[in-house]
């Protein structure tokens, strides 16, 4: 995993992919993430809406006819099921990679550009170059291969579900590691998202070094350096 420093600029929103298009590309695409013998990568992110920590993207290529029961949008799965599936995905994937863009770079650009950079970097790191990339959502990064945006792809296309799971499991572990260094914020519980307890901790202690200082809920307290000094 690595942070991304790519100079890509976001493209215009890709035309959403409809189920009819997926079926035209081949039944394998709908079922396992590959179509007509082409290597198809699924891409998704985790942490876009968080107030702290990186945004993490994963890219996954699954072999034809792979059997991974239970693949779904990572947000719909329990942590234990996500962990089990992540291990299974890494074990059977033709290729997989994850990439992160840290909070400081998110603040220096914006969350959309940071997310697209993380996605592009994850695809770049794949050991096998895909011929088609399917990205969850309505916008896709600039890539040297054909790319399509699939609205609700993490629920509809298993190879994107696999990427969603790897991104979520990786980011959760990152935030659990940060929780040990900054225990005042409860990162292990909320993973940096804007829960009431997390917002109260920011108001009480000011932002930590991994908070996104341009985000509402954090920027109001970004000048709280005096209170921060006693925490780390």
43-102 pLDDT, tens digit per residue, is 999 999 999 999 999 999 999 888 898 888 898 999 999 999 999 999 999 999 999 999
Contact (CB, 8 A) for 97 and 63: no
pLDDT 10s digits, 24-47: 333 223 333 334 335 999 999 999
Contact criterion met (CB below 8 Å) for 82 and 156: no
Nearest-5° Cα angle at 185, 112 to 222: 60
pLDDT in tens, 91-133: 999 999 999 999 999 999 999 999 999 999 999 999 999 999 9
Specify the DSSP class assigned to residue 219: G
What is the CATH number that goes with domain 19-178? 3.30.420.10
Closest CA to 153 of 8, 3, 22, 57: 22
pTM to 2 decimal places? 0.81
Containing 188, the helix (H) or strand (E) segment is helix 187-190
DSSP string, 14-26: PPPPPHHHHHHH-
pLDDT category, 223, cuts 50, 70, 90? confident
Query: Residue 231: is its pLDDT beyond 80?
Result: no
Any bridge partners for residue 134, and if so which? 42, 148
Is the alpha carbon torsion for 141, 144, 148, 153 positive or negative? negative
pLDDT at position 66 is 87
Q: What phi and psi, each to the nearest 5 degrees, are found at residue 104?
A: -60, -35
Q: How many whole angstroms separate alpha carbon 65 and alpha carbon 48?
A: 31
User: Which of 214, 227, 231 is CA-nearest to residue 103?
Assistant: 214
Closest CA to 130 of 29, 232, 3, 199: 29
């Amino acid at each position: 995993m690595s942070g991304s420093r790519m100079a890509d600029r976001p493209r215009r929103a890709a035309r959403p992919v409809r189920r009819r298009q997926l079926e035209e590309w081949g039944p394998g695409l709908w079922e396992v993430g590959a179509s007509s013998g082409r290597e198809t990568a699924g891409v998704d992110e985790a942490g876009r809406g968080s107030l702290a920590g990186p945004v993490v993207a994963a890219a996954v290529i699954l072999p034809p006819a792979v059997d991974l029961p239970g693949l779904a949008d990572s947000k719909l799965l329990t942590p234990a099921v996500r962990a089990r599936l992540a291990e299974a995905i890494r074990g059977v994937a033709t290729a997989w990679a994850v990439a992160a863009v840290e909070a400081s770079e998110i603040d220096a650009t914006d969350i959309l550009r940071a997310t697209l950079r993380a996605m592009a970097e994850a695809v770049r790191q794949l050991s096998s170059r895909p011929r088609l990339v399917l990205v969850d959502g309505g916008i896709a990064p600039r890539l040297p291969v054909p790319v399509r945006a699939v609205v609700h792809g993490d629920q509809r296309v298993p190879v994107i579900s696999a990427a969603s799971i790897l991104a979520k499991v990786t980011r959760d572990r990152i935030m659990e590691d940060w929780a040990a260094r900054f225990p005042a914020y409860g990162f292990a519980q909320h993973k940096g998202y804007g829960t009431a307890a997390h917002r109260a901790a920011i108001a009480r202690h000011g932002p930590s070094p991994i908070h996104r200082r341009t985000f509402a809920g954090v920027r109001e307290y970004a000048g709280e350096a005096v209170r921060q000094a006693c925490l780390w």
